[in-house]
Amino acid sequence: MGRSQEEEQPMTTLTDVGSAAISLSNVSKAFETGTGTVLALDGIDLDIQPGGFVSLLGPSGCGKSTLLRVIGDLVKPTSGEVLVGGRTAAEARKARDYGMAFQAPGLMDWRTVRRNVELPMQVLGVPRAERRQCADEMLDLVRLTAFADHRPRQLSGGMQQRVAIARALAIQPKILLMDEPLGALDEMNREYLQRELLRIWRSTGTTIVFVTHSVPEAVFLSTEVVVMSPRPGRIAARVPIDLGYPRVDETRVSPEFYRAEAEVREILHSVLAPEGEVQQ
């Protein structure tokens, strides 16, 4: 705990913001259910710059996960266009541009930690020696080298989530899509992993799109917070977070942090229905 503060490097990257890494134009998504149509996303326009760390924040059911899945080509939009580095999302997925991490680490207990990290490379046919070396590098990045030969069940929840992040990074994705990856953790572990995630993001330069319900988490992590309105999900506001780097525990109690948090919270409250009104 607390070790990453002095290790966090000064700001060195994020200067080259040429063409958008991810570009969504007028994206809508309707789900057909047994009882009718659910319009989950409606007319989403969003550009995310290369190297950005963008959080999607909004009330439950507003379409955050759907938006993340549309970007990752796990869900096809009903209309609109998703471009990733100028390619379609399907082409980007084929080109292995994405790494993904979800709330549940989803590790296989019959494989060691190292072999869990190796799995996506194994699926891609990466030779054994190469994937082992890469897995070891990733485990070093998430500081779990000493646990490489353990089974996932021997690790804490936070450590398992770090393995899942290492696995997502193993194929060196340009884009990391994360759906509440820290949601199941206790507060201390969560704050620790937030710092770790910032460190990893800054050392890899990967673009991160991150779904969360937590305002302080979104503010601490992000270059930009995208606030969504209740269903059908639309973009209510985009809030750049100009907190500078390194972001450390003191950042969380700084006046700038409180100001950014208050701004995001105010927007979030303004998009919510008046008290007592239930969102369907």
Ligand X SMILES: Nc1ncnc2c1ncn2[C@@H]1O[C@H](COP(=O)(O)OP(=O)(O)OP(=O)(O)O)[C@@H](O)[C@H]1O
Quick one: which of 60, 129, 146, 255 contacts ligand X (CB under 6 A)? 60
63 binds ligand X (CB under 6 A): yes
Please work out the total of residues on this chain that contact ligand X, with binding judged by CB under 6 A. Answer: 13
Nearest distance in Å: CB 58, ligand X: 6
* CB of 31 or CB of 258, closer to ligand X: 31
Of the residues 66, 194, 222, 229, which one makes contact with ligand X according to CB under 6 A: 66
Q: Which residue in 31, 37, 238, 250 binds ligand X (CB under 6 A)?
A: 31
Q: Pick from 43, 61, 157, 183 the residue near ligand X by CB under 6 A.
A: 61
The amino acid at 94? K
* Residue 14 or 74 with smaller CB distance to ligand X: 74
* Part in contact with ligand X (CB under 6 A); list of ranges 33-41, 106-114, 137-145, 186-194: 33-41
Nearer to ligand X among residue 15 and residue 35 (C-beta): 35
62 lines the binding site for ligand X (CB under 6 A): yes
Q: How far apart are CA 174 and CA 84, in angstroms?
A: 10
Q: For strands 79-84 and 87-88, give the pairing.
A: antiparallel
Listed ranges 11-19, 30-38, 160-168, 214-222: which one lies at the site for ligand X (CB under 6 A): 30-38
Choose the stretch contacting ligand X; rule: CB under 6 A; options: 8-16, 57-65, 123-131, 196-204.
57-65
Gap between the Cα atoms of 154 and 192, Å rounded = 20
SS (H, E, C) 236-253: EEEEECCCCCCCCHHHHH
Could you say which residues in the range 202-241 bind ligand X, by CB under 6 A?
A: 231
Q: Which helix (H) or strand (E) holds 267?
A: helix 255-271
Which sign, positive or negative, has the C-alpha torsion 270, 194, 244, 69? negative
Structure tokens at 1: 């705990």
Q: State residue 96 phi and psi, 5-degree precision.
A: 60, 40
Based on the shown chain and the rule CB under 6 A, indicate whether residue 65 belongs to the binding site for ligand X. Answer: yes
Closest alpha carbon to 57 in 190, 212, 259: 212
Rule CB under 6 A: say whether 35 interacts with ligand X.
no
Asked whether 239 and 255 are in contact (CB, 8 A), the reply is no
CB 24 within 8 A of CB 81: yes
CB of 41 to ligand X, least distance (A): 8
* CB of 103 or CB of 254, closer to ligand X: 103
Residue located via tokens 């494989």 = 111
Name residue 176's beta-bridge partners.
Answer: 99, 208
In the complex, the residues that contact ligand X under the rule CB under 6 A are: 31, 33, 38, 40, 58, 60-66, 231
